[in-house]
Structure 1
Amino acid sequence: MLRTQNLLPAGAPVKVLARGPGYAVTAAGQALSAGAPGQTVRVRMDNGRIVNAVVRDGSSADLALE
C-alpha cells in the first residue's frame, strides 16, 4: 500500500492565500493537521479563527472562498 508523504506537518506555520476576482490576500496561521499537496487541512489563523485550506506546498495553502 502506498502512502502520500505529508509535506505540511501539523503545528507548522503556514501562509494562507485567499484569491478572488481582482484580488489576493495572504495571512499567517498554524496547521492543525498534516497534509500533502491537494489535501485539505485545518488551519488556525492568527486571530484564532479556524479555516479549511488546500495544501500547495510545505509552507502555504489556498483558502477556498464560497
Structure 2
Amino acid sequence: MTTEDFITDLFCPVDARMKNAPNHSQASLWPSELVTIGLLFALKGGGSRLTIVPGENLYFPFSD
C-alpha cells in the first residue's frame, strides 16, 4: 500500500462521518481534512519540526 493509498483510506471514512460538520467562513480546509492531518501526526508521532526525507516515498511530513 502506498502512502497516497493509506492517506486516502484514512480520509474517506473520516470525511463520511464528518459530512455535516460546519465549515468556518474563513477556513481554507474542511474539518475532515484537519482531522485527517491530526490523525497522520498522531500515527507518525509528529512533532513541531517538519521535514521531508529526500528519496523516500512519503507524502506527509514527519518529525526528525
TM over 0.5: no
Q: Give 1 or 2 for the bigger CA radius of gyration.
A: 2
Tell me the TM-score normalized by structure 2.
0.26
Structure 1 or 2: more helix by fraction: 2
**Larger RCO (CA within 8 A; separation ≥ 6):** 1
